[in-house]
Amino acid sequence: MFQHVEAYPGDPILSLNEAFGKDPRTNKINLSIGIYFDDAGKIPMLPSVRAAEHKVVADAGARPYLPMEGAANFRTAVQELLFGADSAVVKAGRVVTIQAVGSSGGLKVGGDFIKRYFPTSTMLVSDPTWDNHKAVFEGCGLTVKTYPYYDAATGGLRFDAMIEALKAAEKKSIVLLHACCHNPTGVDLTQEQWQQLVPVLKERELIAFLDLAYQGYGDGIVEDAYAVRLLADQGLSFFVANSFSKSMSLYGERCGALSVVCPDAAQAVNVLGQMKATIRRNYSNPPLHGGQLVARVLSDPELRPMWEAEVVAMRDRIQFMRRKLHDVLSAKLPGRDFSYFLTQRGMFSYTGLTAEQCDRLKEEFGVYLVRSGRMCIAGLNTGNVEATANAIAAVLS
Ligand code: LMR
């Protein structure tokens, strides 16, 4: 019956993470998946989230279904986090927010909606982008193409080429943009570059779809929402999927959201209605528990500042590891420029290591990087950074 079902080659990130789990070596180092590990190599349970969980569990009663669009307190808290407490677009009723199954769920619900209401639109993603973007949007039936982004020669951004490509894009193309901490390269647009992008989006009637999965890991919780607030202030209609996997260390709870900024409140009502229909067809309604943790952390006057300080500490630790790896590698290989470790932001850096060099790192040294050369800096710690640098130096020499 199933002879025609072909073998699944595996996912480049998740399968590698599984292989790491099965590797019996005790000195192995996981720099593959986008997860924040603390200096002891553990996924942290943030004290703010733990305290929120105690309160949520203490208050818990019956477990009814949530509405299709998710819990009202969660959705309101997300809008405030993304758009700001005094947001004009939120006050005008122009923003639709649904609770999603991680930001991946937000991408999927948004992609299904786009396929239905913009059936001829092409999805444009950065070259490169998160491996799963293409898969999710193609799974929605959309055609996915790329626009220039990463400059391998400089370890920076091909901004002029990106703008030229977007100026030449078909009207109503959907442009997937990483709002901060670009995955996989760590190369972000500056605030000035975001400002230069806005007229291009307007003139070409392009529809931005922001992916904000690493809020707080770049420059700060508010700073990393810059693109969201700029596009909203500039009167654009757009999508934004966001996640609490990384910022609250809540990976397995699948807490995320999709927001759509609409031209007016009446259109927002209809967009919300069709989002609900899309959700009902996909998974009916989102789970209860994780979203309530997020809502509690964001709205509790004691827990909110605690969480903000925890995000600062995680971001600072990554910065420290960037500096450390840069310094050790620069000392070992003086002819090479490792400054990209310092300029790139967030969890990831694009190392320029080839797939074969990544294979050697894994096989000979137990150091796991995605074969694109993406390194999750958040997997480094004071106990493994030196060994990582030694291994990289060995495969580069
Ligand atoms: C990553 O990029 O490693 C993370 O976002 C985890 C994932 O689902 O791929």
Kindly list the protein residues whose Cβ atom lies closer than 6 A to any atom of ligand 1.
Answer: 13, 33-34, 130, 132, 183
Burial class for 62, CB neighbours closer than 10 Å (0-12, 13-18, 19+): exposed
Tell me which DSSP letter residue 223 carries.
G
Q: How far is the CA of 175 from the centre of ligand 1 (A)?
A: 20
* Orientation angle between helical segments 289-299 and 47-59, nearest 10 degrees: 110
Q: Is 211 a catalytic residue?
A: yes
Q: For position 123, what pLDDT does the model report?
A: 98
For 252, phi then psi, to 5°, come to -75, -10
Q: Within 13 Å of residue 91, how many CA atoms lie on the same side as its CB? A: 6
**What is the atom index within ligand 1 of the atom nearest the CA of 104?**
8
Q: How far is the CA of 13 from the centre of ligand 1 (A)?
A: 7
Q: How far is the CA of 318 from the centre of ligand 1 (A)?
A: 17
**What is the atom index within ligand 1 of the atom nearest the CA of 184?**
2
Query: Out of 108, 130, 324, 362, which one is annotated catalytic?
Result: 130
**What is the atom index within ligand 1 of the atom nearest the CA of 132?**
9
Distance separating alpha carbons of residues 69 and 61, to the nearest angstrom? 21
Task: Calculate the CA 386 to chain-centre distance.
Answer: 28
Per-residue confidence in pLDDT tens, the chain, 397 aa:
999 999 999 999 999 999 999 999 999 999 999 999 999 999 999 999 999 999 999 999 999 999 999 999 999 999 999 999 999 999 999 999 999 999 999 999 999 999 999 999 999 999 999 999 999 999 999 999 999 999 999 999 999 999 999 999 999 999 999 999 999 999 999 999 999 999 999 999 999 999 999 999 999 999 999 999 999 999 999 999 999 999 999 999 999 999 999 999 999 999 999 999 999 999 999 999 999 999 999 999 999 999 999 999 999 999 999 999 999 999 999 999 999 999 999 999 999 999 999 999 999 999 999 999 999 999 999 999 999 999 999 999 8
Q: In a mutational test of the pocket of ligand 1, which residue from 18, 31, 33 has the highest number of ligand atoms less than 8 Å from its CB?
A: 33
Amino acid code (one letter) for 123: M
Q: Is 97 left (phi over 0), alpha (psi -120 to 50) or beta?
A: beta
Distance separating alpha carbons of residues 71 and 79, to the nearest angstrom? 13
* pTM exceeds 0.75: yes
**What is the atom index within ligand 1 of the atom nearest the CA of 370?**
3
Q: Is 307 a catalytic residue?
A: no
Structure tokens at 184: 């996989």
Q: For position 225, what pLDDT does the model report?
A: 98
Structure tokens at 331: 């000392």
Q: Is 362 a catalytic residue?
A: no
Q: How far is the CA of 33 from the centre of ligand 1 (A)?
A: 6
Distance separating alpha carbons of residues 306 and 259, to the nearest angstrom? 26
Q: For position 43, what pLDDT does the model report?
A: 98
Structure tokens at 274: 């069709």
Specify the pairing of strand 122-127 against strand 174-178. parallel
